[in-house]
Amino acid sequence: MTHAGGPLSGIVVLDLSRALAGPHAAMLLGDLGARVIKVEQPGTGDDTRGWGPPFVGPEDDPISTYFLSCNRNKESIELDLKSDDGRTQLTRLVRASDVLVENFRPGVLDRLGFSMERLHELNPRLVVCSISGFGHDGPEGGRAGYDQIAQGEAGLMSITGSSPEEPTKVGVPIGDLLAGLHGAYGTLSALYERERTGRGRVVRTSLLSSIVGVHAFQGTRWTVAKEVPRPIGNHHPSIAPYGTYACADGMLQVAVASEGQWAKFAALLGLDATDPRFARNADRVTNRPELNAAIEAVLAGGSRDEWLERIGAIGIPCGAIRTIDQVYEWEQTRSQGLVLSVDHPVLGEIELPGPPVRFDTHPDETTAGRAGHLPPPRLGEHNDSVRAWLDELDADA
């Protein structure tokens, strides 16, 4: 076993998850340098291997770009967990791992013979990251969790979109992604705690808790003020002007978040900052339709790029609305390490979205993060090498 470098170098993660929430959590740990061994169903693998189009690669063996998005820095081993050999190999892997990530429906691991109690009998130091749809207990704890269902049930769709009549999901599976992120940070906390106690513990999160946990001010609008938030499109519900505006040839976004910024922005547009309808933020929020109309009447006289330059020059946050291809072509994106180049065994050199966390180096280091990133694995690509590693561990025991 070689060390990839990075803060989690030497940590072994056993990834029993599929689809997105669990695989995303395991991938984040892999980005930090952990060795991630992904267990997949023989012959079919992770569900996302079949999710598409788009597919790329050979017509007789197409590769899902969905799978590629959430499985970098992993090895793949095929195990039938309902077979004697599969359970034997899983037992060996549990004993050899530091972290286990799973997102089975509650009760499935128990039926396979690997309850949380059994896992910790096999390996008292094991940290288990368990991700569910609606929680592992409670009156609806056994429900299957899919992202869009959770976005609706957790209230996110009710505050997203152009109007209350058109509840809208977020353009990425944000519940899955947040659950993966929360699972990863809970896992890191448990690994840190293990340094003191010598014991692992179970870390639990869910799509429901991950979405409710980021309600932020929309949550306290109800819990404290008893005001039910509703969607208002691309404008901030509590700050104005803060949103999307039309220019002569396109759209731009402006965020005016203080009274000082409002005074400068109003002066640039030739508006009266002391107009009683707009003098304070609360007034501007109350009179948003009139404010937006006044702003767009001025912006219509110039191009988007012209206004972006003029607004930016006075220190007001503003920006364009880029398409996904434009984001990945943007030099600022690439400068932040957000595009990775990896050598895929079938596709050759491909680019993937990169990890969102970077580490600065100390003077005596050449790299503070993972030394090199691995492409998402082919199904069963590491069957032999993982079994050989387990044999070595048994021989050394």
Catalytic residues: 176
- The 3-class secondary structure across 58-79, one letter per residue, is CCCCCEEHHHHHCCCCCEEEEC
Q: Which phi and psi (to 5°) does residue 205 adopt?
A: -150, 175
- Collapsing DSSP states into helix, strand and coil, what is residue 117? helix
Tokens 């009139």 correspond to what residue?
Answer: 290
Q: Which residues pair with 99 in a beta bridge?
A: 13, 127
Angle, helix 84-96 to helix 383-396, in steps of 10 degrees: 60
Q: Report the alpha-carbon distance of residue 74 to residue 38 in Å, rounded.
A: 6
For helices 21-31 and 174-197, angle between their N-to-C axes, nearest 10 degrees: 50
**Gap between the Cα atoms of 85 and 347, Å rounded:** 32
Please give the sequence-ordered ranges of beta strands (E in DSSP) within 247-368, or none if there are none. Answer: 251-255, 318-319, 339-344, 348-353
* Amino acid type, 383: N
Please, what sign has the CA dihedral across residues 103, 7, 390, 199? negative
In this structure, what token pair is assigned to residue 260?
């000082």
- What distance in Å separates the CA atoms of residue 258 and residue 363, rounded to the nearest whole number? 40
- DSSP state, 68? H
Beta-strand runs (E) in 276-368 = 318-319, 339-344, 348-353
**Which residue bears the tokens 């309902």?**
82
Nearest one of 304, 305, 326 to 245, comparing CA atoms = 304
CA distances from 95 to 126, 190, 312 (A): 8, 17, 56
End-to-end distance of the chain based on CA atoms, in angstroms?
16
